[in-house]
Each structure stands twice: as structure tokens, then as C-alpha cells.
Amino acid sequence: MQGRGLKSRLLVGSALALAAIAPVCAQNARSYVATTGNDSYNCAVTTPCRTLKAALALTNAGGEIIVLNSGGYSGATVNKSMTITANGVVASIENGSGNGLVINTSGNVTLIGFNIHGMGGGNDGILVSNVGFLRLYDVVAENFVNNGIEFDAAGGLAIYSSKFNDNAGSGILISNSSANAYVQDTGLDHNGNGISVTGGAVTASNSYAHFNTTGFNVSGGALVLTGDDSVLNGTGITVSGSGTAQFTRCLISQNTTAYNVSGGTVSGSNPGTTVITGPTTGSLGTATALQ
């Protein structure tokens, strides 16, 4: 009898211990990941998951995933509305092949504080095929074969205080004709193109493009630059095809070619508030009158 009682207590204790870490069918409003976590856990703060993929599976649409400590985290496909936060830690995604993050949801997604590294072999840092509205805060995407972020969606994009470096394609590529994008306080260093617009409407404010083949490239859609620097690139601004670009309060200096217009239109403001130095190709259009 005593042995059976002890056995029963052990079984109960084991069941409780397993319940503390076992995945549950119910979804979390907030989930957690850590380098010490395990994907067999339930993604609670005391029993975090190891990967974003596991946390996404256990988090409600519209919920939040929080990164608890510094370290490397594998990429994932975000297929529901979600906020993924890495505040106060150094959270990295390293992808030597494929894409760092894929966004494919009709919902809204916010990404805060990730460093995404392509290691010279990854395709895109962030590939956006579908989204309602995507916000990036303090994100780094670098060293990808294609682009730091490729935005193919018809939704909205806002990028704040981020960096896109050493990408062979573009730091930021906007391709959908229905896309609307805003970029603020963001750096674009040593890419093929800093920002490339092939469709949609894009505004960049107080951002900089340095050491790129082309600082700002527009072959379709419209780009507005205000308070931006395009310095030490092969070409500061290139406009071709059906693209249009407007600039005011910008510094376009020490590029091999200041601007190259081979189609479309590019224009400054009247009165002029932009400093342009160096040789040019093509002509500026009629300046936009400042109100």
C-alpha cells in the first residue's frame, strides 16, 4: 500500500511537471523565445520556445512574440498579424541561403530590433509577398545576394531608424504599383541600389545613401526625397522608364555622377534648397514650387 501511494505521488508529480512545459492547444496572446528555450515548451515567459517558427504557431493573430535574450534565432514565415519585439537585446537571424524572414499575411506586422545577416549567400533579408501594413523599427538587413527588404505587396510599409548594408541588389526594393512606403532616419550603405523603386509611391525623409552603385534608383512609380543625403555613390539619383523623382533639402555630393535621367522625370524645388555637385547626365524637369 505504501509503495502504491508513493508511485501515485510520483505519477502525479511527473504529470504536473510535464504540464508545465508541454505545448497547449490554446493560443497565447503573448509568447516568448530565448536561446535557452525549447520548442516543446508552451512559449510562456518561464518556459520559452527556442524558435520564432514555434512561437508563431502558438500565438494568436494580433499577438506579440518577445525575444528574451541576445543570440541567434532562425528565420520564419510570418503568416498572421503579429508584433515581434527584440528590445534591449541583440537578436540576430543568420541565413546563408533562402530568406531571413518572409511576410505573407493580409494582416499588419511590426518587427522591432532584429539584425538579419545574409552571410553573402542568402536571397533577401525580408521578403514581403503580402501584408496589410508592415512596420520596421531598428532593423538591420545586410550582406544578401538580392535585397535587404523586397516589398512586393500592395500594402503599406514604414521603416524607421534602420540600416541596409552590403546587399548586392538593393537595400530597399519597392516593386508593387499599389505599394505606399515611408522611410525615415535610415541608412543605406554599400548596396547595389540604396532605395530602388519600380512601382508604388515612396517617400524618404532624413535618410542617407553612401557608397552604393546608385543611391536612389527609380524606374517606375514615384519617389520623393526630403532632407536626404546621397553621397559617394556611383550615381546619386537615377531615373528611367516611367519613374518620377522629386527632391528638396537634399545633399547630392561627391558622387561619380550626381544624377542620371534617361527617361521619366526628376525635379527639385523652387526656390531650390538642394546642394548638387559633380557631373550630370540628362536634364531636370520643372521645379516644384514650395508653398
Q: Are 263 and 241 contacting, i.e. CB atoms less than 8 angstroms apart? A: yes
CB atoms within 10 A of CB 3: 7
Q: Across the beta sheet with 275-276, what order do the strands follow? A: 71-72, 91-94, 114-117, 140-142, 163-165, 187-189, 208-210, 229-231, 251-253, 275-276
- Give the start-to-end residue ranges of the domains of the chain: 68-289
Share of the chain above pLDDT 70, in %: 91
User: What tens digit of pLDDT does each residue of 135-147 get?
Assistant: 999 999 999 999 9
Band the pLDDT of 26: cuts 50, 70, 90.
Answer: low
Quick check: bond before 23 cis, omega within 30? no
Cell numbers found for residue 227? 532632407
User: What tens digit of pLDDT does each residue of 70-114 get?
Assistant: 999 999 999 999 999 999 999 999 999 999 999 999 999 999 999
Residue 36 has pLDDT above 50, yes or no: yes
Q: For all residues of the chain together, what is the average pLDDT? A: 93
Q: Does domain 68-289 have CATH number 1.10.3470?
A: no
SS3 111: strand
Pairing of strands 222-226, 201-205: parallel
pLDDT of amino acid 291: 83
Radius of gyration of the chain (CA): 23
Residue 23 has pLDDT above 70, yes or no: no
1-28 mean pLDDT: 49
18-26 mean pLDDT: 45
Residue 53 has pLDDT above 60, yes or no: yes
pLDDT of amino acid 137: 98
Cell numbers found for residue 286? 520643372
User: What tens digit of pLDDT does each residue of 217-251 get?
Assistant: 999 999 999 999 999 999 999 999 999 999 999 99
pLDDT of amino acid 210: 98
pTM of the model: 0.91
Band the pLDDT of 177: cuts 50, 70, 90.
Answer: very high
The 8-class DSSP code of residue 49 comes to: B
Question: Number of C-alpha atoms within 13 angstroms, CB side, residue 44?
Answer: 11
CA 161 to chain centre: 11
Question: Rounded distance, CA 53 to CA 232, Å?
Answer: 40
For 11, the enclosing helix (H) or strand (E) is: helix 2-21
